[in-house]
Amino acid sequence: MDRSVSIFDSTLRDGAQAEGISFSVEDKLKIVRALDNLGVAYIEAGNPGSNPKDLEFFSIVKQTHLNCAKLTAFGSTRRKGILPHDDKNLQSLVTADTPVVAIVGKCWDFHVSDILQASLSENLEMIRDTIKFLKQTGKEVIFDAEHFFDGYQENPEYAVDCLNAAAESGADSLVLCDTNGGAFPTNIFDITKKIVEAFGTPIGIHCHNDGGMAAANSFMAVEAGASQVQGTFTGFGERCGNVSLATIIPNLQIKKGFLCINPEKLVDLTKTARLVDEVANISPNDTAPYVGRSAFTHKAGMHIDAVMKAPRSFEHIQPELIGSSRKLLTSEVAGRQAILRKIQKINPSITKDAPETKEIINRVKELEHKGYQFEAAECGLELIIRKHLGKYRPLFELENFKIVGEQPCSTGYSTTAMIKINVDGKTEITAAEGDGPVNALDKALRKALEVFYPQIAAMRLTDYKVRVMDGKSATASRVRVLIESTDGNESWTTVGVSTDIIKASWLALVDSVEYKLIRDIENRFGAYLR
């Protein structure tokens, strides 16, 4: 390792400024623990001056033991015309009682005059006063130089004066911010290099992604000598977001030999990214570099063949290094080869040119055309192949179901589902109440099936996703339902498509249950209708 780079995570502060993001105290604690486990250097966890909830959070988080991360509170330079100890926001920063504070100050002359409406010298005084005041409380003080690159390009002397004001007043590091996110890597490199050479204080970089270059801009700043990178873990933040630390860390540590986090924890990178997105309650970006679900997914037949010969032919790193794994898809592009492999798993004697192979491929294409997608639901594909090859007999038959919902509702549940099924000539009729029609139907189906197949009791649904395929006709649009199930040992996903959400859910429920039952038979008897 040549050099260390401090990772400064602002998921809980700058990230909370993203559209659609809102954290509870419990959410924040979960994220703090996950980031500390990974070994990031700083966790910026809130702005106590602007948000009283953040102040409450800092009083709670104090009781949590952290292994290596330093908690950081964020605030602005003091207000115009008042003394630091009369400034409520600065008082809140002291009250937050964190070992580190990050102070943002203006460095772009246009912002000082037009937005802050202060004189250039007054802004310098605000920077000096604020940092001196906070240093007197014994804290580590990070100075975030807002709009530094925009400011430098319009008035370099003033931008540097602002850094000088901070450094002379005792700031422990100076962080150059591309606040509007529109800077280019060449400018970031040149300007950062000059600043690193001119100052003895450690320099950091804080990039936004409005030009799509936040990861490269952060890298170029490190190349120019920056030793701290600020970002949010999966990249959410104002507008197009902050740089994603889940991209920065492997770029620097795996590929360039910098020490960013505990090397033993690199394998937790993907898991941590999923956790952050889950806690933030946003859909993870499947195509995110490194940690996205598609990052090591291969679809083109030629790519699949090549990675099977040598992974590095189409993979820039080994996915296992960051706790991810390779995925090979079934699709039109992958074509025959991938589907054939699945067919031969069920009947090894069927060849590439057999008529069954062609029929199955045509059936899959037809279903894909209707909106089915087997990339995420491969066990649905297995059932289709079994049906075509006669390696399937229905494990139950639906006689009928009825769903009744009402509002206002007399019981705690709004919906009742009645179901009648038939297994080998014996019928079972039952009913269940639920929170909405899909929940009621799921409960009723499993209750009826348990009479014949007790092992169904071990099974539960873990995820239920609805995707409206075309928004044109609104409530009568075609919807795709994906259901993820588990029996404690294995997880599997099934899919159903219909214009009716109940029908689509039913199709996915039935596939899920049948997959479970077939797997159990195979596990007990070695094969199911092979």
Site for a second copy in 1-20 (CB under 8 A): 16-20
Q: How far is the CB of 529 from a second copy (least distance, A)?
A: 27
In the complex with a second copy, the residue whose CB is nearer, 499 or 523, is: 499
In the complex with a second copy, the residue whose CB is nearer, 100 or 213, is: 213
Contact call for residues 240 and 254 (beta carbons, < 8 A): no
Contact call for residues 305 and 311 (beta carbons, < 8 A): no
Q: How far is the CB of 14 from a second copy (least distance, A)?
A: 9
Contact call for residues 141 and 135 (beta carbons, < 8 A): yes
Both structure tokens of 333: 């592009």
505 binds a second copy per the rule CB under 8 A: yes
DSSP state at residue 436: S
Contact letters for a second copy, residues 401-420 (x by CB under 8 A)? xxxxxxxx-----xx-----
454 binds a second copy per the rule CB under 8 A: no
Measure the CA–CA gap between 528 and 391, rounded to whole angstroms.
Answer: 8
In the complex with a second copy, the residue whose CB is nearer, 460 or 530, is: 460
Q: How far is the CB of 396 from a second copy (least distance, A)?
A: 14
What residues form DSSP beta bridges with 418? 402, 431
In the complex with a second copy, the residue whose CB is nearer, 358 or 530, is: 358
Instruction: Dump strand ranges (E) for 57-106.
Output: 70-76, 100-106
219 binds a second copy per the rule CB under 8 A: yes
Identity (one letter) of the amino acid at 365?
K
In the complex with a second copy, the residue whose CB is nearer, 291 or 346, is: 291
Q: Which among 4-12, 126-134, 424-432, 474-482 is the span making contact with a second copy, rule CB under 8 A? A: 474-482
Residue 33's contacts (CB-CB under 8 Å, 6 or more residues apart) are 64
Among 121, 137, 153, 186, binds a second copy (CB under 8 A): 186
| 356-385 binders of a second copy (CB under 8 A) | 368-369, 373, 375
Q: Which among 35-43, 191-199, 312-320, 342-350 is the span making contact with a second copy, rule CB under 8 A? A: 312-320
Measure the CA–CA gap between 451 and 410, rounded to whole angstroms.
Answer: 29
Q: How far is the CB of 65 from a second copy (least distance, A)?
A: 27
Element (H, E) at 207: strand 203-207
What residues form DSSP beta bridges with 433? 416
The alpha carbon torsion through 189, 317, 8, 258 (nearest 10 deg) reads: -60
| 28-87 binders of a second copy (CB under 8 A) | 50-51, 53, 76
Q: How far is the CB of 68 from a second copy (least distance, A)?
A: 25
Q: Which among 160-168, 262-270, 309-317, 381-389 is the span making contact with a second copy, rule CB under 8 A? A: 309-317
Measure the CA–CA gap between 258 and 79, rounded to whole angstroms.
Answer: 39
| 318-357 binders of a second copy (CB under 8 A) | 329, 331-333, 335
Contact call for residues 245 and 9 (beta carbons, < 8 A): yes
Q: How far is the CB of 240 from a second copy (least distance, A)?
A: 5
Q: Which among 37-45, 131-139, 174-182, 423-431 is the span making contact with a second copy, rule CB under 8 A? A: 174-182
Measure the CA–CA gap between 357 and 354, rounded to whole angstroms.
Answer: 5
In the complex with a second copy, the residue whose CB is nearer, 225 or 436, is: 436
In the complex with a second copy, the residue whose CB is nearer, 111 or 342, is: 111
456 binds a second copy per the rule CB under 8 A: no
DSSP string, 282-312: ----TT-TTTSTTTTEE-SHHHHHHHHH-GG
HSE of 63, CA atoms in CB hemisphere, 13 A: 5
Q: How far is the CB of 339 from a second copy (least distance, A)?
A: 15
Contact call for residues 115 and 154 (beta carbons, < 8 A): no
Contact letters for a second copy, residues 106-135 (x by CB under 8 A)? ----xx--xx--------------------
Q: How far is the CB of 41 from a second copy (least distance, A)?
A: 21
Contact call for residues 528 and 518 (beta carbons, < 8 A): yes
Q: How far is the CB of 35 from a second copy (least distance, A)?
A: 19
Size of the site for a second copy (CB under 8 A): 129
Contact letters for a second copy, residues 266-305 (x by CB under 8 A)? ---------------x-x-xxxxxx-x-xxxxxxxxxx-x
Among 56, 320, 470, 522, binds a second copy (CB under 8 A): 470
310 binds a second copy per the rule CB under 8 A: yes
Q: Name which of 38, 65, 39, 51 is nearest 12 in CA terms.
A: 51
Q: How far is the CB of 61 from a second copy (least distance, A)?
A: 19
In the complex with a second copy, the residue whose CB is nearer, 312 or 530, is: 312
Burial of 203 by CB count in 10 Å (0-12 exposed, 13-18 middle, 19+ buried)? buried
Q: Name which of 376, 514, 500 is nearest 438 in CA terms.
A: 500
Both structure tokens of 299: 């679809």
DSSP string, 203-270: EEEEEB-TTS-HHHHHHHHHHTT--EEEEBSS---STT-BPBHHHHHHHHHHHH--B-S-GGGGGGHH
Give the dihedral sign, CA 337/343/346/347: negative
Give the dihedral sign, CA 366/368/371/374: positive
Among 500, 522, 523, 530, binds a second copy (CB under 8 A): 500
434 binds a second copy per the rule CB under 8 A: yes
Residue 48's contacts (CB-CB under 8 Å, 6 or more residues apart) are 54, 55, 58, 73, 75, 89, 92, 93, 95, 96
Q: How far is the CB of 98 from a second copy (least distance, A)?
A: 20
Q: Which among 25-33, 251-259, 379-387, 447-455 is the span making contact with a second copy, rule CB under 8 A? A: 251-259
